[in-house]
Amino acid sequence: MLVFPQPHSIAPSGETIVLAENGKPTCSLVLADDAHPLERAAAELLATAIAEFGGERPGIASLPGVGVAIYLGESARVAGAFTGETPVPDQPEAYAIVAKGDGIALLGSDPPGTFYAAQTLRQMVREEQGRVVLEGASITDWPDFRYRGLYIESKWGPDLMGLQDWRDLIDYLAGLKFNSLGIGIYCCWCVQYEGKRTEFLMVPFPDHPELQTPKTIQYYSAKDGEWRALSYLPPMFEEDFFGEVVAYAKSRNITVRPHFNGPGHTTLIPTTHPEVAAKSAAGNPEPYGYCLSNPQTYELLFELWDSVIDRYLTPNGVDWFHMGLDEIWVSVGVDEDDPERAVDPWCKCADCRQSSPNELLTEYVIKATQHLASKGMNNITIWNDHLAHYGLLNDELVAKLEQAGVRDKVILQWWRYDEPVLEIPSDLGLRAWTTPMPGYYFWLFTQSYTSNIYPHLALGYRAGAEGTDAYCVFDPAYDRNYTCLAEYAWNQTSSGDLYQFKSRYARKVMGTSGFDAVEPFEKWDQVYDSMPLVGSTLDILLPYWHTYSRAREVYPRNVVRALLDDQLRSMRTYHRARTHLRRARDFFAARRDGAPDPGLIDEYLFEC
């Protein structure tokens, strides 16, 4: 039984249960009249899954109708349907399923548990000789990480997603039993294209029309045979639908957490509000960083954060907020007039010089978390890297957070996308999430990050991390990475090792087993599963890193010349990578039409 993530306990009965025959349902879904919205969503999900094979939708009612009764949530308890046979684990989001010929019961420890039971049963439904069937089984299941999800950066790609794209994404995540979705709403990077800084703001601030990030992309249209320009604001910003995304996610048991970065990764606010910007030694406002001695800095930031909380979070009952805090370092490429100039984000004004950057940052963390807590935010996430690098993650900081009344609200997100894998200290006394990467640079060669995801989650679980969300820019071609993340976020104790996961995944995607299922992925992995190979040898062929800040060069001149010289004989590597990918492509193509999801095979074909 190929279910992702794999349930903790499945006992198949060997019985085949028929849910529809000749396009007519032979089952009905039973739901209490006052069922929780998530239980109703569970019933809708199953009705859709059964009708997906070309038949009618089974009815949903408070009493059993024709054929096999499928009881969901409270109705299973009331009907006494098989309760006691398979106890539901006593923890959030757990569930039990009993599927027998005379009835099916899906019972959660809470409404999300019943929703996840339906997500499991949905994957068990299949077509067999004109009938829609599933294999009888008793299942008990629960999540090993309390919080599981993706963090989607404000970046190229997400900035062009419309409301329906976000809804589709949320349905996909819910299918993998993710319950958390971080969304970047403000973050900035260095000068890259057209001599402009790379700034993204995904929500409008009505009182601050100066805060917006219009873009113009120049691209060559192969279809039209000429260069085109696309000028736009992010649809999420222009149509102001972030609140609708938060509400839709909630209807799928997913909590959306906005991510507002700073005091690194911020250039839009300092350049539009020079009064709060970090000052140079000569007293001039810098395009990057904040003056943390100026009360106006806090006033402006808190005004913006409050606006996000009041408009989008509190109305939806969300008490999560990410305040960034990564990579507060000297940076080139932030001054558009002089991109080669290194700019220090630490202010040099007379007041700031009274304190060290570490003292200023500690004060910032305390003030900011206290303010967010006063606005009802009970879960405040911050990146670990800067605090860890400067030795600030110590008992002293924990004591200060305790004194400020926020220690139990602060969560450190431990991230690293390279080796060696980051190990979370288990004795720090702060809540922790582990953050691997499941794919980000969709504009470069695709990349398998399973060798980053698998150890991060295994070690994070051992260290007692309560959650995991992976940092990404969403692309359906990263499906195996997302599925791997879902697998080990949900099931650390009985899902098997990474090799077993890859084998199960190959069987699911290819709709077959053995050589024909595994061979395309084996050849794919020879090229795309190596972080060192993809991240350097392959990606250097493409323009991206050649346009990035200090490394700016004229593309593709230098790459072509280097290839022609071939002093390191790397051409041989490229030829061999091509040979592997051609073989993978041929195997994917051969099974494309018979695969369970041809669209997913198309993603793999494209990347090959």
Complex with Zn ion: residue 331 or 495, whichever CB lies closer: 331
Among 13, 212, 293, 451, binds Zn ion (CB under 5 A): 293
The CB-of-352 to Zn ion minimum distance in angstroms stands at: 3
The CB-of-349 to Zn ion minimum distance in angstroms stands at: 3
Determine the interface stretch with Zn ion among 122-130, 143-151, 260-268, 347-355 (rule: CB under 5 A).
347-355
Complex with Zn ion: residue 254 or 291, whichever CB lies closer: 291
Q: Which of residues 120-179 bind Zn ion (CB under 5 A)?
A: none
The CB-of-293 to Zn ion minimum distance in angstroms stands at: 4
Alpha carbon distance 33, 480 (integer Å): 39
Q: Is 347 in the site for Zn ion (CB under 5 A)?
A: yes
The CB-of-548 to Zn ion minimum distance in angstroms stands at: 29
Alpha carbon distance 71, 45 (integer Å): 14
Listed in order, strand segments (DSSP E) in 192-238 are: 197-201, 215-221, 226-232
The CB-of-348 to Zn ion minimum distance in angstroms stands at: 7
Complex with Zn ion: residue 286 or 529, whichever CB lies closer: 286
The CB-of-45 to Zn ion minimum distance in angstroms stands at: 53
Complex with Zn ion: residue 183 or 278, whichever CB lies closer: 278
Determine the interface stretch with Zn ion among 160-168, 217-225, 249-257, 342-350 (rule: CB under 5 A).
342-350
Q: How many helices (H) and strands (E) does the chain have?
A: 19, 22
The CB-of-365 to Zn ion minimum distance in angstroms stands at: 17
Alpha carbon distance 583, 586 (integer Å): 5
Complex with Zn ion: residue 294 or 448, whichever CB lies closer: 294
Alpha carbon distance 357, 251 (integer Å): 43
The CB-of-256 to Zn ion minimum distance in angstroms stands at: 34
The CB-of-330 to Zn ion minimum distance in angstroms stands at: 16
Query: Which tokens go with 125?
Result: 């439904």
Complex with Zn ion: residue 104 or 291, whichever CB lies closer: 291
Residues in the interface with Zn ion (CB under 5 A) total 5
How many Cβ atoms are within 10 Å of 415's Cβ, its own excluded?
20
Complex with Zn ion: residue 297 or 434, whichever CB lies closer: 297
Complex with Zn ion: residue 349 or 563, whichever CB lies closer: 349
Contact status, residue 99 vs residue 17, Cβ threshold 8 Å:
yes
Q: Where are the alpha helices (DSSP H) in 412-497?
A: 450-462, 479-490
How many Cβ atoms are within 10 Å of 321's Cβ, its own excluded?
26
Listed in order, strand segments (DSSP E) in 62-122 are: 68-72, 95-100, 103-108
Q: Which residue has the tokens 């690293």?
A: 416
Determine the interface stretch with Zn ion among 340-348, 370-378, 489-497, 505-513 (rule: CB under 5 A).
340-348
Residue 27 has, within 13 A of its CA and on its CB side, a CA count of 32
Q: Residue 304 to residues 262, 271, 319: CA-CA distances in angstroms? A: 13, 16, 16
Buried b (16+ CB within 10 A) or exposed e, 468-492: bbbbbbbbebbbbbbbbbbbbbbbb
Contact status, residue 28 vs residue 65, Cβ threshold 8 Å:
yes
The CB-of-274 to Zn ion minimum distance in angstroms stands at: 12
The CB-of-298 to Zn ion minimum distance in angstroms stands at: 12
Alpha carbon distance 383, 396 (integer Å): 18
Determine the interface stretch with Zn ion among 165-173, 205-213, 293-301, 466-474 (rule: CB under 5 A).
293-301
Determine the interface stretch with Zn ion among 344-352, 401-409, 500-508, 587-595 (rule: CB under 5 A).
344-352
Q: Which of residues 263-292 bind Zn ion (CB under 5 A)?
A: 291
Complex with Zn ion: residue 184 or 270, whichever CB lies closer: 270
DSSP letter for 309, please: I
Q: Which residue has the tokens 């504009």?
A: 443
Q: Is 352 in the site for Zn ion (CB under 5 A)?
A: yes
DSSP letter for 537, please: I
Complex with Zn ion: residue 344 or 586, whichever CB lies closer: 344
DSSP letter for 107, please: E
Complex with Zn ion: residue 293 or 503, whichever CB lies closer: 293
Q: Is 202 in the site for Zn ion (CB under 5 A)?
A: no
Q: Residue 578 to residues 356, 442, 530, 604: CA-CA distances in angstroms? A: 52, 19, 15, 14
Among 332, 349, 398, 540, binds Zn ion (CB under 5 A): 349
Q: What are phi and psi of 287, to 5 degrees?
A: -80, 10
Q: Residue 299 to residues 313, 358, 371: CA-CA distances in angstroms? A: 20, 21, 11
The CB-of-295 to Zn ion minimum distance in angstroms stands at: 11
Q: Which of residues 370-399 bind Zn ion (CB under 5 A)?
A: none
Complex with Zn ion: residue 212 or 293, whichever CB lies closer: 293
Determine the interface stretch with Zn ion among 67-75, 230-238, 346-354, 401-409 (rule: CB under 5 A).
346-354
Determine the interface stretch with Zn ion among 317-325, 338-346, 352-360, 564-572 (rule: CB under 5 A).
352-360
How many Cβ atoms are within 10 Å of 369's Cβ, its own excluded?
23
Query: Which tokens go with 292?
Result: 């943390």
**Site residues (CB under 5 A) for Zn ion?**
291, 293, 347, 349, 352
